[in-house]
Amino acid sequence: MSEAIIVTRGVEVTLGGNPVLQGVDLEVAHGEIVAVTGPNGVGKSTLLRCLAGLRTADAGEVAVLGGPPRDEPAFWREVALVADEPAWYPGLTVREHLELMAAVHAGPRMDIGEALESFGLASRADAVPPALSTGQRQRLLLAMTLLRPSRVLLLDEPERGLDAEFRRRLAEILTDYAAEGGTVVMATHDPGLAEAARSRRVALADGRAETTV
């Protein structure tokens, strides 16, 4: 196996007195896609927040790119997170959001037109995010995330609001990202997406992680 980009050892997290993660061990290699699955409330998002440095584990170790994750710009220049939060500025169009991302990050992975086409947003390029549907806003967030360069992608239910056709397209986009050397960890409820992205499935159950496929 190639070098491990993400390593967790015995990660434990308790939320409101409820033990959510009880010794999660996980290793994700360079260029690998891992799909974390499991029912609601099992701790998928909590695990992703630990990997993103947004939550400190009560016990255990977390290492991303060789060090503990930190909510700092240097970390976010290497790691991109997609979660369920509004990620747009008021008064800017879809195209301007993508241009902003390209202006801030040197060496974007694709040009603006390509991103609009690839994420099915070309016809909505002049729309503002509040005028988009839930699925289109999710496409915009994914487009901004995948436009910028990164080494690790953390995706919390990326299929949220997306139609079946675009989920297949998303699987291709993620596969291409991994083929370029990126590492992906996504929490998902869509086995089809996990399979189409040729990911390694890790099921969370009883606070522990177990590789299933």
Binding site for another protein (CB under 8 A): 49, 54-55, 71, 73-74, 76-77, 80-81, 83, 85-96, 99-105, 125-128, 130-131, 141, 144-145, 148
Give min distance, CB of 85 to another protein, in A.
4
User: In this structure, what DSSP letter does residue 53 have?
Assistant: T
Residue 185 to residue 209: CA distance in whole angstroms: 13
Give min distance, CB of 33 to another protein, in A.
20
Residue among 71 and 195 whose Cβ is closer to another protein: 71
Residue 3 to residue 137: CA distance in whole angstroms: 34
Residue 17 to residue 209: CA distance in whole angstroms: 20
Residue among 45 and 118 whose Cβ is closer to another protein: 45
> Phi-psi region for residue 75, left (φ > 0), alpha (ψ -120 to 50) or beta?
alpha
183-187 and 152-156 beta bridge pairing: parallel
Cβ atoms of 24 and 51 closer than 8 Å? no
Which of these, 187, 98, 177, lies nearest to 139 by C-alpha position? 98
Give min distance, CB of 43 to another protein, in A.
14
Give min distance, CB of 22 to another protein, in A.
19
Give min distance, CB of 106 to another protein, in A.
9
Residue among 61 and 126 whose Cβ is closer to another protein: 126
Residue among 7 and 125 whose Cβ is closer to another protein: 125
Residue among 4 and 87 whose Cβ is closer to another protein: 87
